[in-house]
Structure 1
Amino acid sequence: MDDDQSYLAVRSGDARFDGMVFVGVTSTGIYCRPSCPAVTPKRENAVFFPSAAAAQGAGFRACKRCRPDATPGSPEWNARADVVGRAMRMITDGAVDRGGVAGLSAALGYSERQLQRLLTTELGAGPLALARAQRAQTARVLLETTALPMADAAFAAGFASIRQFNDTIREIFACTPTELRERSARRDGPARPLTVGHPDTGPLAGTISLRLPYRAPYDLEHTFGFLGARAVPGVEEATRNGYRRVLRLPHGTGIAELAPGDGAGYVWCRLRLGELRDLGTAVQRCRRLLDLDADPQAVAEVLEADTFLGPLVAAAPGLRSPGHVDPEELAMRAIIGQQISVAAARTVAGRLVARFGKPLDVPVSGPGGGLTHVFPLAETLAEADPRELPMPRGRSQALVALASALASGDIDLGPGADRDASAEGLRRLPGIGPWTADYIRMRALGDPDVFLPTDLGVRHALERLGHPGDGRSAATTAQAWRPWRSYASHHLWASNARAAL
């Protein structure tokens, strides 16, 4: 988008562009999202930025009405596979806070200077500024939703010192941390103290409830149904109106509970964390799981024009392509689920969890048996004897081979992974064919443009729609669905479920 197109989005108050473009108002020194309810600035007073960090770096403060830092993330970073897209996925996962710019650059295979130049050219800010903007957003969540002491909130958000925390909050939000909390209390009521010794979770450090925004429409019923149908006993389960699971995070474990919001535009997220430093990472992984940064209208514009898919898209507006909170877990589960039903795969995975997973200090009771374990580490399954795993020999050997490759670092499935290189590495492993590698690429690596032409569910859906359904014909037809073939796959799977009712 050029500046004139961006101004049209601001003038029309188009919420689709929230998180994709930020407008700074030179007459007030404030930056906003396009859908801000304030009076539209004059064209000569409006400047545009590709990121909140760029607006902050230019000296603009966040609008107190529209809170532009709380918008959904840009869908561009889901689709892009270049180094900028990979870097953004790593930064939002907290890579700079954990390993600094040097660690980020090394993981991407670029020098710090090259990475700084690339990010500044594309986003108007370097990795430190982008990470700082994310820390500020995490701090705001802690200040507004908890009664955590200021010092604890500062370090939990990733700041290195109280002074850095105070200076950043003043600069970005034009108020002190105390004023930010007081303003939130006047608007939403006082924040509840963090729960210690919660009756369901035991002595976790705290419980935080927050809202995760998305771009409407969103078929939440389908997403929660998809996740619930595949929930591995002990690690995840469907709840009365949502889903919850155990999280393995950089500094400890946690539990995420997700449910539809009271109104459109957000999902409720309740996090119970062993270490509050993991808040930002936990939020981003939940967002990837639910595909909350997607642009459903951009997807629909392509898929609705297709003869086969158009009616399916109209029947299920806002269908998402769920990702995963733990790419390595998803990859190992893809091996477990080869050539068996979804229900059978859950059963086998549950047995592996019970035998090889790390038990939670305090299990969480629930309608599906509760949450009891963290999914086994790749390092643990790499040392397992294939003969002792509850699956056929070929599949158990493939699982151990994959776990060994993940544990050694030969295959990278992290947020900064090169998707092409990872998929090629997967295909070289014994027992991993195109379907498995592509399914891992779709969900573990979050690629929005993966099609599974040999998938049985895809073939059945296409045949029901009058398509030949064979793999070659399906792959040819799917070329028209690029760059959203992952979403097309989900529409085909969802159509099978509707046809079975």
Structure 2
Amino acid sequence: MSDQDTRYEAVRSRDARFDGEFFFAVETTGIYCRPSCPAVTPKRQNVRYYPTAAAAQSNGFRACRRCRPDAVPGSAEWNVRADVVGRAMRMIGDGVVDREGVGGLAVRLGYSARQVQRQLTAELGAGPVALARAQRAHTARVLLQTTDLPVTEIAFAAGFASVRQFNDTIRAVYELTPTGLRAAAPKRGGGRGTPSAGIPLRLAHRGPYQAAAVFDLLAHEALPGVEDVSGERGARTYRRTLRLPYASGIVAVEERDARKGGDSHRCGWLEARLHLTDLRDLTTAVQRLRGLFDLDADPYAVDERLSADPRLAPLVRARPGLRSPGVADPEEFAVRAAVGREEARRLVVAYGTPLSSPCGTLTHVFPAPEALAERVPLAAALADGTVRLDAGADRDDAERHLRAVDGVDAVAAAAIRTRALGDPDVAPPGEPVSDAWRPWRSYAVRHLRTERAAERAAEQAAEPARSHGEEPHLLTA
């Protein structure tokens, strides 16, 4: 949105569709909010608009304590865009600036640090340091308000270089001390988390969310020892191990549709619990979970475009807000796509990293590319950097290099581009895809495949004696 009249109308009507797409600040109060903030509508002449929370913070505004604008879904724009700004935002979200600094971000983008600073500031109103600082503040708030960890521990876990920097940032962003911010935590069932009990999270999304379809796909793909899906359809739990920059982790995410009376999640979030060996991995883990469940998508824009096609319109009506899931680990998915399910199972047993203590059926972290380099050509290409699948990878370059690797065909490359690189506009070989569905062809394909899976399930239910046949492959499920 670029028209201020339209933006003010979104604020006036408290339209949650635009949460995360822009932020507004009120000059008379010094506070910035999400568009759906339930507070009194401000006078138009007092409102200022910002593309990011970091931009509002850089202009001296603090976060609203009522609507918590730092907890909104991310802008879907960063997943769609393949330019330097979109790639930079994906990498900042993955914690690259915290781990490698602005210099590391610039090297990954192929630009100088000055060029990156200039482009981000010009378009987003904040440079990489300010954007990373806003993200650290959000991570710190989550830890302060959901765990009983000591404040000093939280400061470094959130990515701050010192306790003083942490204290100054929390005061600037929230106008509270860390202790005061912890005391202001909204009441939630289950109490606060501990390192052993995990960190409770609410992973926000915008609009309707077809959780059942996402969990169906994850259940089909679940790799023994690394993932599992338990419970009855509509109230399932997806659990998996995570290989993260500093250490490993385990996450559990709830479906919960049955408790909401239907397939479409409208409560605005997925409940999750995250167990981390090293708390510095929190920001990265959350961002990767958001990608796995496609929580930053704009279902309104997707559904509007796809509904214009007579072939897709009934599918969109049946499943509004259907997502195109990503992955928790791009390199893991790529290897699995290249070698197939059975070989992936063998690789986990032979080369996976065993958990120090198995957690139910979860026993291993999927092996890193380096561990498989002598056995799997794609793993070797990932290990030596020939193929890059990190958050800021150039999608066209990645696909070109993937196709040059022995064992990666066009179908596997398309699946990796769709899922591991989060490209919303992929036309896989063999799928009857229309250019009219751009830039959401990945979502159109997901609608077609979900409908086919539902038809197969209905046929099997009608003929229970018939064999269920071969288990769906992860590339076609």
Report how far residue 141 of structure 1 moved.
Answer: 0.3
Shift in alpha-carbon separation, 1:193–1:424, aligned structure 2, 3 A: closer
Identify which of 223, 226, 237 aligns with 2:217: 226
Identify which of 185, 197, 200 aligns with 1:209: 200
Query: How many angstroms apart in 1 are the aligned matches of 2:92 and 2:185?
Result: 27
Farther off after superposition, 260-269 or 128-137: 260-269
Q: 1:349-368: per-residue Cα shift (whole Å, max 9, x none)?
A: 21210111111111111xxx
Structure-2 residue corresponding to 1:394: none
Identify which of 371, 374, 378 aligns with 1:402: 378
Structure-1 residue corresponding to 2:242: 247
Identify which of 393, 415, 424 aligns with 2:400: 424
What is the total number of aligned residue pairs between the two structures?
A: 444
Structure-2 residue corresponding to 1:360: 355
Amino acid at match of 1:291: D
Identify which of 294, 315, 318 aligns with 1:291: 294
Amino acid at match of 2:31: I
Does the alignment pair 1:433 with 2:409?
A: yes
Query: How many angstroms apart in 2 are the aligned matches of 1:47 and 1:314?
Result: 36
**2:145/2:192 contact within 8 Å kept:** no
Does the alignment pair 1:151 with 2:186?
A: no
**2:62/2:172 contact within 8 Å kept:** yes
Alignment of 1:294-309 (within 5 A): 294-309=297-312
**2:29 partner SS:** coil
Amino acid at match of 2:238: Y
**2:193/2:199 contact within 8 Å kept:** no
Amino acid at match of 1:317: P
Shift in alpha-carbon separation, 1:360–1:24, aligned structure 2, 3 A: same
Query: How many angstroms apart in 1 are the aligned matches of 2:206 and 2:424?
Result: 16
Structure-2 residue corresponding to 1:411: 387
Structure-2 residue corresponding to 1:124: 125
Query: How many angstroms apart in 1 are the aligned matches of 2:237 and 2:11?
Result: 34
Report how far residue 325 of structure 1 moved.
Answer: 1.2
Identify which of 268, 271, 293 aligns with 2:271: 268
Query: How many angstroms apart in 2 are the aligned matches of 1:274 and 1:432?
Result: 33
**2:410/2:429 contact within 8 Å kept:** no
Query: How many angstroms apart in 1 are the aligned matches of 2:55 and 2:338?
Result: 42
Query: How many angstroms apart in 2 are the aligned matches of 1:357 and 1:111?
Result: 38
Shift in alpha-carbon separation, 1:190–1:352, aligned structure 2, 3 A: closer
Report how far residue 251 of structure 1 moved.
Answer: 0.7
Query: How many angstroms apart in 1 are the aligned matches of 2:78 and 2:301?
Result: 14
Query: How many angstroms apart in 2 are the aligned matches of 1:12 and 1:192?
Result: 34
Report how far residue 191 of structure 1 moved.
Answer: 4.5
**1:260/1:266 contact within 8 Å kept:** no
Report how far residue 192 of structure 1 moved.
Answer: 2.8
Query: How many angstroms apart in 2 are the aligned matches of 1:59 and 1:287?
Result: 29
**2:99 partner SS:** helix
Report how far residue 288 of structure 1 moved.
Answer: 0.4
Query: Normalising to structure 1: TM-score of the pair?
Result: 0.87
Does the alignment pair 1:328 with 2:341?
A: no
Query: How many angstroms apart in 1 are the aligned matches of 2:146 and 2:192?
Result: 7
Identify which of 431, 453, 477 aligns with 1:497: 453
Query: How many angstroms apart in 1 are the aligned matches of 2:88 and 2:66?
Result: 30
**1:431 partner SS:** coil
Identify which of 228, 239, 244 aligns with 1:237: 228
Structure-2 residue corresponding to 1:192: 192
Shift in alpha-carbon separation, 1:163–1:191, aligned structure 2, 3 A: farther
Structure-2 residue corresponding to 1:259: 254
Amino acid at match of 1:265: G
Q: 1:30-78: per-residue Cα shift (whole Å, max 9, x none)?
A: 0000000011111100000000000000000100110000000000001
Report how far residue 402 of structure 1 moved.
Answer: 0.9
Amino acid at match of 2:319: A
Identify which of 334, 349, 360 aligns with 2:344: 349
Structure-2 residue corresponding to 1:86: 87
Structure-2 residue corresponding to 1:65: 66
Structure-2 residue corresponding to 1:37: 38
Shift in alpha-carbon separation, 1:193–1:242, aligned structure 2, 3 A: closer
Query: How many angstroms apart in 1 are the aligned matches of 2:322 and 2:409?
Result: 27
Structure-2 residue corresponding to 1:23: 24
**1:52/1:133 contact within 8 Å kept:** yes
**1:144/1:191 contact within 8 Å kept:** no
Query: How many angstroms apart in 2 are the aligned matches of 1:15 and 1:216?
Result: 8
Report how far residue 239 of structure 1 moved.
Answer: 2.1
Shift in alpha-carbon separation, 1:351–1:294, aligned structure 2, 3 A: same
Query: How many angstroms apart in 2 are the aligned matches of 1:442 and 1:171?
Result: 39
Q: Note the aligned Cα RMSD (angstroms).
A: 1.3
**1:255 partner SS:** strand
**1:425 partner SS:** helix
Query: How many angstroms apart in 1 are the aligned matches of 2:237 and 2:212?
Result: 8
Amino acid at match of 2:306: L
Report how far residue 332 of structure 1 moved.
Answer: 0.7
Report how far residue 453 of structure 1 moved.
Answer: 3.6
- Percent identical pairs in the alignment equals 59
Unaligned runs of 5+ in 1: 197-205, 338-344, 385-399, 459-473
Amino acid at match of 1:27: T
Amino acid at match of 1:232: L
Alignment of 1:106-185 (within 5 A): 106-184=107-185
Query: Normalising to structure 2: TM-score of the pair?
Result: 0.91
Shift in alpha-carbon separation, 1:437–1:189, aligned structure 2, 3 A: closer
Structure-2 residue corresponding to 1:447: 423
Query: How many angstroms apart in 1 are the aligned matches of 2:26 and 2:40?
Result: 11
Q: 1:118-145: per-residue Cα shift (whole Å, max 9, x none)?
A: 0001110000000000000000000100
Query: How many angstroms apart in 1 are the aligned matches of 2:299 and 2:248?
Result: 32
Query: How many angstroms apart in 2 are the aligned matches of 1:401 and 1:292?
Result: 32
**2:185 partner SS:** helix
